[in-house]
Structure 1
């Protein structure tokens, strides 16, 4: 394997984190790595410094939403860039690159092995109409017939792909983190409890629910910390209930995460959130919404709780607030389990094996009727 080309429109957040890990490890192993990317508001200004010096970059114009003229221009740019790179492997990240990249790869790199990581399926978005959700699902179904292997990052995401996209080839490799760089949870002696979330203000992350929880549970010895949030983004009715760090570097975000006693993930949809994985590796019990990705990271009743409503979340937070022993037990279980399961050392070996040998068969048998029915019922959260 001489050259891997990664393509992404969603160049930020969890996608950037996974791209950094995969690219740096491949480049350090002597593999050529090129990243064809667009820019988003959340893309760091100095993103090149996050990568191995051998990693190459090329800007390609892609937009998040469907736009016929811009999308065809994006395909032309990708075709041009792929012909210059002549890759053996093309790895597509997130939905827009997943569609445009497979079209371009079929034209410009027909012999390359193509892999597509959704990092959160677009048709699960709750901020668009039902018509748009169906359109995104239709695009996924059409693109799946153009070749390549879809690689889900969680069991729940794989189920969605198998039962709704009907992809001929689908596998699952979970997201990973560099365990050595995750700071363990800091033991406090002052009796104060810190409950936190991490992420930008967005409909997906549902920071309003976090602020509501903070208002309902605020007290003299409890703090709700929003890592990455700004005070003017907190709903007016919850002003004063949440402490905001503002934008921070990744290193500072990890430091602040290590100071939490409980981690909260209020997302309306996910792929498999890196910040949640990092919190579990740090040894922090989590209370999360019952959506794709969240439910795959947290072992309900063991490393935290998976909630179907904000009322359930509040109840679970009260249990953890009132029981230091429960927090300690779940935190220890989270660190032991997550440090082994989500180690990037293991995850990268799985990706390297797939890059080298490709994939012609699903990772497991398709879901049976009973399992599908059970899953559809359990996924109906109230957020």
Structure 2
């Protein structure tokens, strides 16, 4: 494998987290890695520092929404970059790159193996009209016929892909995290209980529901914390029920997560949320909405609860709030299960195998012995 090129327009959040893990580990193993990316509002100012020195970063203009003129320019620029990189593998992240990248790969890198990770399917968005949802689904179906492999990050996402997109080739590799960098839940001696969630203010994350839960379940000994959110972004007159950290670094977000007793995920749709995985690795029981991704991470009744309504969610939170032994038991189950299931060590090996063999496993040169050895001896917590 001489070169992996990652392409993403959604350069932030969970996509950025997975990109750093995949690209840094490949670069540490001696594989050439280039990332063609755009900039979003949620892209950190110092994102270059997140990557291994050998990872090449190159900005390409891509816009999130459908825009024929800008999208044609995006395909042109991606095609030029792919010709220069001459990749053996092209890995596309999120829906815009999934469409534009497959067109560009057909033009400029026809011999490369192409993989597409949706990180949350665009046609499941609930902030757009049914007409737009159908348009997004149509784009996914057309792009799937251009070749490549769609790789879902959860079993629920894979089912949606297989039943609605119906691509020639679809697989599933779950998201992973670097276990070593996630601090475990802090055992408290005081009687205060902290309930929180992590993420940007958006319709997708449904922070309005989090505020309502905080208002309804507010008590002197209970504190609700929104990690990454700002007070100005909260709806209504109930802002005083929620404490906001404001924008924080990833390291600080993990520290704040470790202080939680219950993690909440109120999302309207997901792929497989990294913040939720990190909370489970930290040993925090979770109460989440019953949507794609959330339901795949949390084992209902074992590592937390999956709620079908806001009323159910409030009931589950109250149950955990009032039952310390249940919180301890579910937290311990969450950590034991998540550390084994979502370790990036195992996830990265799955991606290496996918990159090497894909759907044409007999026609490509396998990863060299030295590259495998380099990866096996690299530190899990180096980057």
TM-score tier, shorter chain, comes to: over 0.9
Instruction: Give the corresponding residue for 2:259.
Output: 259
Cα distance between partner residues in 1 of 2:217 and 2:313: 11
Shift in Å, 1:257: 0.1
Shift in Å, 1:57: 1.0
For structure 1, which runs of at least 5 residues remain unmatched after alignment? 362-383
Say if 2:251 is the partner of 1:248: no
Instruction: Give the corresponding residue for 1:126.
Output: 126
**More off after superposition, 16-25 vs 351-360:** 351-360
Shift in Å, 1:360: 5.7
Which structure 2 residues correspond to residues 140-155 of structure 1 after superposition, within 5 A? 140-155=140-155
Listed one character per residue, the Cα deviations across residues 244-297 of structure 1 (whole Å, up to 9, x for unaligned) are 000000000000000000000000000000000000000000000000000000
Instruction: Give the corresponding residue for 1:166.
Output: 166
Cα distance between partner residues in 1 of 2:94 and 2:246: 26
Listed one character per residue, the Cα deviations across residues 340-377 of structure 1 (whole Å, up to 9, x for unaligned) are 0000000000000111111369xxxxxxxxxxxxxxxx
Instruction: Give the corresponding residue for 1:218.
Output: 218
Root-mean-square deviation (CA, aligned residues, Å) is 0.8
3-state secondary structure, aligned to 1:236? coil
Cα distance between partner residues in 2 of 1:31 and 1:295: 35
Listed one character per residue, the Cα deviations across residues 37-89 of structure 1 (whole Å, up to 9, x for unaligned) are 00101101111100000000111110000000000000000000000000000
Shift in Å, 1:232: 1.2
3-state secondary structure, aligned to 2:240? coil
3-state secondary structure, aligned to 2:195? strand
Cα distance between partner residues in 1 of 2:318 and 2:340: 29
Instruction: Give the corresponding residue for 1:183.
Output: 183
Instruction: Give the corresponding residue for 1:67.
Output: 67
Say if 2:201 is the partner of 1:201: yes
Asked whether the 8 Å contact 1:9–1:94 carries over to 2, the reply is yes
Shift in Å, 1:170: 0.2
3-state secondary structure, aligned to 2:45? coil
Instruction: Give the corresponding residue for 1:375.
Output: none
Instruction: Give the corresponding residue for 2:368.
Output: none
Listed one character per residue, the Cα deviations across residues 85-135 of structure 1 (whole Å, up to 9, x for unaligned) are 000000000000000000000010000000000000000000000000000
Shift in Å, 1:235: 1.6
Cα distance between partner residues in 1 of 2:239 and 2:165: 42
Cα distance between partner residues in 1 of 2:189 and 2:58: 50
Which structure 2 residues correspond to residues 246-325 of structure 1 after superposition, within 5 A? 246-325=246-325
Alignment TM-score, normalising by the size of structure 1? 0.94
Cα distance between partner residues in 1 of 2:89 and 2:44: 26
Q: Which runs of 4+ in 1 moved over 3 A?
A: none
Cα distance between partner residues in 2 of 1:235 and 1:104: 41
Cα distance between partner residues in 2 of 1:141 and 1:309: 31
Cα distance between partner residues in 1 of 2:245 and 2:359: 43
Cα distance between partner residues in 1 of 2:338 and 2:20: 20
Instruction: Give the corresponding residue for 1:42.
Output: 42
Instruction: Give the corresponding residue for 1:88.
Output: 88
Instruction: Give the corresponding residue for 2:236.
Output: 236
3-state secondary structure, aligned to 2:133? helix
Asked whether the 8 Å contact 1:169–1:360 carries over to 2, the reply is no
Asked whether the 8 Å contact 1:152–1:170 carries over to 2, the reply is yes
Cα distance between partner residues in 1 of 2:263 and 2:333: 14
3-state secondary structure, aligned to 1:210? helix
Instruction: Give the corresponding residue for 1:58.
Output: 58
Alignment TM-score, normalising by the size of structure 2? 0.94
Number of matched pairs: 361
For structure 2, which runs of at least 5 residues remain unmatched after alignment? 362-383
Cα distance between partner residues in 2 of 1:360 and 1:343: 27
Cα distance between partner residues in 2 of 1:239 and 1:253: 20
Cα distance between partner residues in 2 of 1:142 and 1:279: 37
Cα distance between partner residues in 2 of 1:330 and 1:188: 16
Asked whether the 8 Å contact 1:270–1:291 carries over to 2, the reply is yes
